[in-house]
Amino acid sequence: MPRRAKGLTAAQVEKGTKPGRYGDGGGLYLLVRSKEAKFWLFRYTRGGHMREMGLGPAMGRSAVKLATARARASELHTLVREGKDPLAERDAAVAKAKADAAKAQAGAITFAQVADMFLDAHEASWRNPRHRQQWRNTLRDNVLPAIGDLPVGSVDTSAVVKIIEPLWREKTETAEGQNP
């Protein structure tokens, strides 16, 4: 447990003091900007540099209580003692959450939706209206019935083989790429 100085009281946090930074001990500070703006900070040294990490507001509807701020500062102090950087850990967690959300969102997009986006993006470069229609017809007749409703992230080799094998036997020209 980090050393705790004299410390703040809940009444001091509530009533507030003049603008400034007030230490509670263990790297926890109350930053008072005005009577209406108070925030919790965790200060630590990493690589010879002083770093500060916000722990939330000390007043208002979403206020972080003194006991909660102390507990969080204690957890962060433990990370620092283990050689970890709390800000880097937080940033990594945020990046992972964003990546997971993007992956989940990508999993919700179907192959048919991606095929439509592809056609819309590329058909202007195709030679003529017949060529454009061949692309759409080939996808509609051969691909979309098999994998159109699958999330694009779950289309794998076996799904593609299921589409191509019948084409190799029955529509050689389409399978070889002579048609779109």
> Mean pLDDT of residues grouped by 10 in the chain (180 residues)?
66 81 91 90 91 92 92 94 92 91 78 89 83 86 88 85 84 59
Domains in the chain (CATH in brackets) are: 10-101 (3.30.160.390), 109-176 (1.10.150.130)
Residue 36 to residues 33, 55, 58, 68, 137, Cα–Cα distance (Å): 8, 17, 10, 20, 65
* pLDDT score for 173: 66
Query: Is the CB of residue 176 less than 8 Å from the CB of residue 129?
Result: no
Residue 154 to residues 12, 151, 173, Cα–Cα distance (Å): 57, 6, 28
Other beta carbons within 10 Å of 167: 17
Please report how many Cα atoms fall inside a 13 Å half-sphere around the Cα of residue 163, on the Cβ side.
18
Tokens found for residue 177:
């790429």
* pLDDT score for 179: 45
* pLDDT score for 28: 94
Residue 163 to residues 116, 133, 137, 142, 155, Cα–Cα distance (Å): 18, 20, 14, 7, 11
